[in-house]
Amino acid sequence: MSTQTIHLKTELTTELDNILEYWSKNTIDQKNGGFIGQIDCNEYKNFEAEKGSVLNARILWSFSAAYSITKNEAHKKIAKDAFEFILTYFYDIEFGGIFWSINPDKTPKDTKNQIYALAFVIYGLTEYYEISNDERALRFSVILYNRIQKHSYDPIKKGYFEAFTRDWQPIEDLRLSDKDANEKKTMNTHLHIVEGYANLYKVWKNENLKNDIIELLEVIETHFINKETGHLRLFFNENWIEKPDVTSYGHDIEAAWLLLQCAEITKNEALIERYKKYAILLTDATFEGIDPNDGGLWYELEPKENKLIAEKHWWPQSELMIGFYNAYQLSNDKKYLDVVLKNWEFVKDYILDNKNGEWIWGINKDYSKIEKDKTGFWKCPYHNTRVCIELIHRIKPLFN
């Protein structure tokens, strides 16, 4: 490896500590327990904000995954606190699901079963199990896996349905957020189900689970990867009729490396070889979304009007660095590494909050700050800790 990549690894090791320090110092809810539901862009702590299951699952994953590197017992303690909080307040004992959100007083708020949230809880629980060997975490993960298979899996057309009521009945509004199309099968949910399932398989070698992961990857290959453009198709109805939407550069590059990692966990050689090719295909397509002036990745493109959503959010930058480094590892082509190094300079210049810590939501085309949450329902420590963790693991020392 070059001195450039070793320097990058050093900086990301420092940055991982910085991110975890921000969350450790600022997001513990001393008033209500658990973690604060929102800190706005001006560092105002909103103790009355609802607490999201996805935020809490991502905190659990981040501190658990980071502990394997930092060996900091304080990080393990926060992971344990996150685990206990999810188990006590987000798990629906009556119906066996996960509340989408709870009130500050820890009572249920939005009780729908959004499969995306169940998948993230599995992702966090299994990472915590690796550092704790707490059998409750594994048992709870398997329960949620079985719930998804029982209620969300489509045995006829394959794939998974988006959401259900608390008691697992059909629900009218299937969307993750206001910006999403209200469709029954989405790329985003499938991506994170397979992510959660693959993490579960690492600690629970169940043959049915392995077959479910392989089938999921085949469904994604068939329906979500556009082999002509190299971009992802995002929304479908229950019969796999596409409902065309935006090009999401962040999801393209996240899928590029993450799906290959999931394939590798199955040890299915044919699948791995295909996903190596898709990794390069999706990465090459992501070049379209990179601003050549500063190396930042634009948010989305509306293909019908060829209209760029001219914002650069924090999380696509994180996934860009992993995805392009992955392509560099697969190809040994330095053009991919150059993208990583330039993007990291962009992040340091515009996305890192050097005054308060953590990363801001992002910037507009004119480089003004996007006035959105510092931490919140969707602003979590998951993408930016993950780029640090992944690249720390992937960048080898100059001399072994």
Question: What would the mean pLDDT of 303-318 be, rounded to a whole number?
Answer: 95
CB-hemisphere CA count at 13 Å for 123? 28
Is the Cβ–Cβ distance between 115 and 103 less than 8 Å?
no
- pLDDT score, position 1: 60
Q: How far is 323 from 170, CA to CA, in rounded Å? A: 36
- pLDDT score, position 176: 82
Check pLDDT > 60 for residue 288.
Answer: yes
| Nearest to 209, CA basis, from 193, 223, 220 | 193
Q: How far is 82 from 359, CA to CA, in rounded Å? A: 21
Long-range contacts of 152-158 (CB under 8 A, 24+ apart): 152/115, 154/185, 154/238, 157/238, 157/239, 157/240, 158/215, 158/219
The string of pLDDT tens digits covering residues 192-237 is 999 999 999 999 999 999 999 999 999 999 999 999 999 999 999 9
From residue 293, give the alpha-carbon distance in Å to each of 290, 299, 343, 359: 9, 16, 11, 21
- pLDDT score, position 110: 98
Check pLDDT > 70 for residue 7.
Answer: yes
- Domains of the chain as residue ranges with CATH: 3-394 (1.50.10.10)
Is the Cβ–Cβ distance between 70 and 388 less than 8 Å?
no
Q: How far is 152 from 162, CA to CA, in rounded Å? A: 7
The string of pLDDT tens digits covering residues 322-357 is 999 999 999 999 999 999 999 999 999 999 999 999
From residue 382, give the alpha-carbon distance in Å to each of 54, 59, 106, 161, 328: 10, 7, 23, 24, 23
Question: What would the mean pLDDT of 47-70 be, rounded to a whole number?
Answer: 98
From residue 5, give the alpha-carbon distance in Å to each of 157, 266, 326, 391: 45, 29, 13, 9
Residues 6+ apart with CB under 8 A from 99: 53, 89, 90, 91, 92, 108, 109, 110, 111, 166
Question: What would the mean pLDDT of 1-29 be, rounded to a whole number?
Answer: 95
- Residue position matching structure tokens 């009556």: 94
Check pLDDT > 70 for residue 286.
Answer: yes
The string of pLDDT tens digits covering residues 99-141 is 999 999 999 999 999 999 999 999 999 999 999 999 999 999 9
- Token output for 191: 């991506």
At residue 160, the 3 state secondary structure works out as strand
Q: How far is 92 from 87, CA to CA, in rounded Å? A: 9
Residues 6+ apart with CB under 8 A from 197: 119, 122, 145, 209, 212, 213, 216, 262
Residues 6+ apart with CB under 8 A from 390: 257, 322, 325
From residue 268, give the alpha-carbon distance in Å to each of 195, 208, 274, 296, 382: 16, 14, 10, 35, 28
From residue 381, give the alpha-carbon distance in Å to each of 8, 83, 114, 318, 386: 20, 15, 20, 11, 8
Q: Residue 204 burial by CB count (10 A; 0-12/13-18/19+): exposed, middle or buried? A: middle
Q: How far is 229 from 287, CA to CA, in rounded Å? A: 12
Is the Cβ–Cβ distance between 259 and 194 less than 8 Å?
yes
Check pLDDT > 60 for residue 399.
Answer: no
- pLDDT score, position 358: 98
- Token output for 4: 């450039």
- pLDDT score, position 398: 60
132 alpha-carbon distance from chain centroid: 22
Check pLDDT > 70 for residue 150.
Answer: yes
Q: How far is 35 from 85, CA to CA, in rounded Å? A: 9
